[in-house]
Structure 1
Amino acid sequence: MAELMENPAFRAFATHAAIVVLKMLLLAPMTAFFRFKNGSFSNEEDVAGKSEQEKKKMMKTDPDVERVRRCHLNDLENIVPFVVVGLLYALTGPDLSSALLHFRLFTGSRVFHTVSYVWALPQPCRALSFLLGVLVVVSMAYRVLSATLLL
């Protein structure tokens, strides 16, 4: 492991992977914040001890809560593939400038995706940031396959 940390491309990957994973993890407490702020709970045990009338009022969906939840789900669908493909890409020994470009573009696209999702920026902000992240992962996957494919 110590040898890997001497590889600048791997260190860059580790840094950016940690950033996007932490960003994704922060969406869970953000969801909880909006649940409490807006009194919107999805499980009956979350409103235990309340009257039936209060339970009905609190057992509802809320647009703010659902927006953050969908953003979190989108992160799960995109950050996990980045971590897997990015690790493989970093292990192929890419040029540092190319690796940094890939990792920075992905990290920036996911941060901007979260901002545009949570603050409801007008389209195509969210769509373009999503697409950029996907294209980065596809580019890295192509480079992994090019470097490793034995025909």
Structure 2
Amino acid sequence: MQITIALDNPLTQTYMVHAALLAIKLLALSPLAAMTWVNKGIFDNPDIVRRAYLSELKNLAPFWIVGALYVTTNPPTSLGVTLFRLYSIARLVVILGYATKPLPVFFTDLALIGSYFITCYMSVWVVYFYRKAL
């Protein structure tokens, strides 16, 4: 079995765009987390931004790795695109819930759980797809 990743594949492009958007969001949080330590007056609770930043670090790294592996399994394009979009939206909702509190906790928790299960689904699919290598 030979697997190739075509850069003109819509699934590959969607993964790359969403991985980059999530990286930009993480990079935007970095100075905010650093500023909260220097100037405690930026947010009511500076620890919130730091926790949001750490949450993103813990959740994005597995997504980037598993997402790239998932693309190699050649899943249905519509499913893959939907998963990448939902994951990005979920992580945005989580950060909005952490940092600005405009959302009820229920939505933030639902987004956190949703992003977790998307990564789990893709991980299990990758293991299933490459099960002969076990």
TM interval, short-chain normalised: 0.7 to 0.9
- The size of the alignment, in residue pairs, is 128
1:44-82 CA-partner distances (Å, limit 9, x unpaired): xxxxxxxxxxxxxxxxxx853210000000001100000
Equivalent residue for 1:38, pick from 22, 37, 40: 40
1:68-125 CA-partner distances (Å, limit 9, x unpaired): 0000000011000000000000111111101111100100000010001101243222
1: distance between equivalents of 2:9 and 2:28?
A: 29
Q: Tell me, which stretches of 5 or more residues in structure 2 are unaligned? A: none
Give matches, 1:51-130, under 5 Å. Answer: 64-120=45-101, 121-130=103-112
1: distance between equivalents of 2:6 and 2:45?
A: 42
Taking only aligned residues, the RMSD between alpha carbons, in angstroms, comes to: 2.0
Provide runs of 4+ in structure 1 moved above 6 Å: none
Equivalent residue for 2:117, pick from 106, 112, 135: 135
Secondary structure of 1:5's partner? coil
Shift of 1:7: 2.1
Secondary structure of 2:7's partner? helix
* TM-score, normalising length: structure 2: 0.86
Q: Tell me, which stretches of 5 or more residues in structure 1 are unaligned? A: 41-61
* TM-score, normalising length: structure 1: 0.77
Q: Which protein shows a greater Rg?
A: 1
Q: Which one-letter code corresponds to 2:126 in the other structure?
A: V
